[in-house]
Structure 1
Amino acid sequence: MNNNSSNNARNSTSEVGLRRVLGFWDVFFASLGGQSPFLSDLTYASVVLAIAGLAGPVAIIIGTIVAFINGFVVARLSKRITETGGYYRYATKYLGGTPTGFFIGWNYLFYAILYGDAYVIGASYISQWILGIPWQISLPISLVIITILAYLGVRISARYAIFAGSLEMTTLILISVVLLLIPHGVFFNPFSYVSSVSLPTLMVSVVYAIAIPTGYGTIAPLSGEVKKARETISRAVEAVIITGGALAALAIYSTAVAGLSYMNLHEFVKFLNEAADKGLSPVVIILHHFLGILLDPIIIFVMINDGVLGGLAYVLAASRTLYAMAYDNQLPSALSLVNSKGNPTISVLISALSLDTIALITTYLLGPFNAFLLLGFLSMLANLIVHLSSNLALFRAATMKMKAVLYGVDTMRGLDKAMSIAAVLITIFTAIESTLGINPVKLMPYFISLVIIISYLMIKALITRRRFFKAGIHNYRMTK
């Protein structure tokens, strides 16, 4: 099939495929589901508390600010580009064309799949620890549910997210308030404990803190399926970051206050260190101390809701990135095919099966807790690269004069430049400081993958250049 007929077939498929069916609340709660607020507090927030101690709430605040600055960048870019693909599209249009777009698209896939894995593995770890359900049972079941729901389409997951997300937010707030009202609870100023933590250690905790409100990363790739995308995407991105960060800060602070109600400061710090060394969640331990068996049904709800919906959100986002890259002929065209319900099923299945395979292998080799820590950190490294590219893309976009002002796109160019520069500096600083505080061996999977994809791009460029050179010689001889 020639290129024209292939493009025609693809275009006709897209016309009956991807449809703008998602509204603000669909996108907001689907993204909040990507954050998995309750599960994040039991996992990522536990890691932050274990690493940073009583300075943990400050790490959450810093992580939320970093996420919001990067989110502002995405919000502004979403007003310029409303097609499916998100970060891949931003890099392609503003940062050097398809090679850069392909590199950033791959980084996003690395981030999305591993981040989704971290959530579903975290849910299985907690269910095994508290409920005694082996991960060998809970993890495969969760992965099967994720794969099935992803295959059924984005609309179904959005409907579930609105119901489950509302219920989860209410539950999390109520528990936090109850913990703050516990007798003998010690209210403290977390900022006064920042100096007790080294900067690299604090930044490691910030990287995990960024993971909590970063569910907005699932919104941009879905732009092609959102109604009034220029308005809806930007509002949803900002709202979900603030909501997720506020819930996490409230939860981790209330947990620490509750812990200090029956432990003194020295005992509490020792408890955090011992919990981290044993791979236990201090948040879960403190909640279980006060809630007892009442915590069990909450954990069951978290496992079903957050583990599945968190993984599902990133499978859908990864599949839309695959779809966009295939649509631009950067990947096999079969990945851009959609079914009659508007779902790119081949891209969805590849994304889901990749998530399934990585989750099962890493959990089998490392155990659920260590697999969660490794995949969570690696995904955040790729996330920093992805957002660094979007920061640079916004700066580039702000220097390009548009022919017409549309939805405020070209009315805040000074602010866009300032925020993009600030986001670049913060992202680079966070990446450098956080990697100084972790074992370099844990970074190897990402850098090996990085070398592979760069090698692929170089080989592809050489082949393209050689074909162009041969074509030029042939045309020259024919003309002569």
Structure 2
Amino acid sequence: MGLDVSVTERLNRRLGTGDAVVIGLGSMIGAGVFVAFAPAARAAGSALLIGLALAALVAYCNATSSARLAARYPSSGGTYVYGKERLGEFWGYLAGWGFVVGKTASCAAMALTVAAYLVPAGWRPYVAAAVVLALTALNYRGVHKSALVTRVIVAVTLLVLVAAVVAIFLSGNGSGHEVFAFSFGGVLQSAGLLFFAFAGYARIATLGEEVRDPARTIPRAIPIALGLTLVVYIAVAFALLYKLGADGLASFVDPIARAVPSGMAPVVRAGAAVAALGALLALVLGVSRTTFAMARDGHLPRRLAAVHPRFGVPHRAEVAVGVVVAVLVLFTDLRGAIGFSSFAVLTYYAIANASAWTLRRGVVPAAGLIGCVVLAFSLPLWSVVIGCAVLAVGAIAYFSRRANTSSQD
């Protein structure tokens, strides 16, 4: 199946390299940096930095493969398009399915994170739903406005993180913590959990039809965004280990707020809420674009492929994603959604690396493919089981649709 689409189903190319980098940063430097280190330290112990390095290595391979593919196929949908073109329709569909269901869960988790830092427990589902609907309305009016808001959110988050790291190192010596034992399997699991916080550069690729000169812009924006994110994560990880030690870091849900001086904790908590808001903004944007691409090809209801005549965005896909996420936050506790989302996203990138292998056989796509598979199956058992079950449901739906289409011919 080719990539030709009608003029009415094409999106406006408005984003430059700076906008694309900011969208990637807004996706990666979000709630993950505030919440992912604690469970990762619980899994890896004092080897947390090794887990971070492994996650970054796999993310780099994925970013490189995604950049090559995006330059060849600058179309909205990311690995859904790449897998379809390089491996066949089913693999593209499976990548798109994994991305949509995994990142929809991530959207709900980010919305609940925003609410957790702002309001008491009883109000959190309702505030989270309101946040989702407000951001959906923002995206509805055009991606350029979303990019501008994301730039502000990224700036605020980075300022809070830099201030927190400086304050931690200036507040006194935190050495002398007991070494926390670790295992090789625990290090791999921590890498899988930390990968959740790196996965935002996919948002750049899924905006392929809205970026100016995508053959140059996307390959430049992805590694820049990933490199800046890694620098921030290394600084935060060193600061937390310095102040709390691996055992203390593993015991806190809000380790950065615990590590800074008490007078700065409210600022950190506010920054965490802003960061989660930025991640949610980019997540809704990316999921709606993949939904748009899948609907355009008939894998989801065709009505979702409509483009707004004035704002030039896939407005029905955006509304559908927003409504689904708003319902999830009202009725579902999604604390465990990170594990499921990580499994689904690692599957998505495994297909991306396999697709890149068909373009240019080499170490990077091979390492990325192997790394994604290893990290995915190193996650907690329930995440693997649920992830496999959801992917199986998607595969069954695909082949059922194919069978029905064949019987009608």
The two structures have a TM-score, normalised by structure 1, of 0.78
Q: What residue number does 2:373 align with?
A: 428
Q: What residue number does 1:333 align with?
A: 302
Match of 1:29 among 22, 43, 60: 22
Q: Is the 8 A contact 1:25 1:162 kept in 2?
A: no
Alpha-carbon separation, structure 2, partners of 1:157 and 1:252: 29
Give the letter for the 2:6 counterpart.
N
- Give 1:211 shift: 1.4
Alpha-carbon separation, structure 2, partners of 1:219 and 1:452: 28
Q: Is the 8 A contact 1:145 1:308 kept in 2?
A: no
Q: Is the 8 A contact 2:34 2:254 kept in 1?
A: yes
Q: What residue number does 1:143 align with?
A: 132
Instruction: Confirm whether residue 153 of structure 1 aligns to residue 142 of structure 2.
Output: yes
- Give 1:82 shift: 0.4
Instruction: Confirm whether residue 90 of structure 1 aligns to residue 79 of structure 2.
Output: no
- Give 1:342 shift: 0.5
Alpha-carbon separation, structure 2, partners of 1:32 and 1:335: 28
Return 457-466 or 239-248, whichever deviates more. 457-466
Q: Is the 8 A contact 1:120 1:307 kept in 2?
A: yes
Q: Is the 8 A contact 2:107 2:280 kept in 1?
A: yes
Which is greater in Rg? 1
Q: Is the 8 A contact 1:41 1:252 kept in 2?
A: no
Match of 1:13 among 4, 8, 12: 8
Unaligned runs of 5+ in 1: 1-6, 261-267, 364-370, 399-415, 469-480
Call closer, same or farther: CA 1:114–1:132 in 2, change over 3 Å: closer
How many percent of aligned residue pairs carry the same amino acid? 20
Q: What residue number does 1:70 align with?
A: 62
Could you give the per-residue CA deviations for residues 438-465 of structure 1, whole angstroms, max 9, x where no partner exists?
Answer: 243x444433322322211222222233
Q: What residue number does 2:320 align with?
A: 350
Call closer, same or farther: CA 1:184–1:174 in 2, change over 3 Å: same
Instruction: Confirm whether residue 465 of structure 1 aligns to residue 397 of structure 2.
Output: no
The two structures have a TM-score, normalised by structure 2, of 0.91
Could you give the per-residue CA deviations for residues 236-263 of structure 1, whole angstroms, max 9, x where no partner exists?
Answer: 1111111112211211210221225xxx
Q: Is the 8 A contact 2:36 2:197 kept in 1?
A: yes
Q: Is the 8 A contact 2:65 2:352 kept in 1?
A: yes
| Secondary structure class of the residue paired with 2:197 | coil
| Secondary structure class of the residue paired with 1:83 | coil
- Give 1:132 shift: 7.4
Alpha-carbon separation, structure 1, partners of 2:176 and 2:148: 39
Match of 1:81 among 73, 96, 102: 73
In the alignment of these two chains, the number of paired residues is 406
**Cα RMSD (Å) of the superposition?**
2.5
Could you give the per-residue CA deviations for residues 129-169 of structure 1, whole angstroms, max 9, x where no partner exists?
Answer: xx778424532332232222222221111001122212322
Q: What residue number does 1:394 align with?
A: 356
Call closer, same or farther: CA 1:297–1:174 in 2, change over 3 Å: closer
Q: What residue number does 1:403 align with?
A: none
Q: What residue number does 1:256 align with?
A: 241
Call closer, same or farther: CA 1:322–1:136 in 2, change over 3 Å: closer
Alpha-carbon separation, structure 2, partners of 1:72 and 1:357: 36
Match of 1:222 among 195, 207, 217: 207
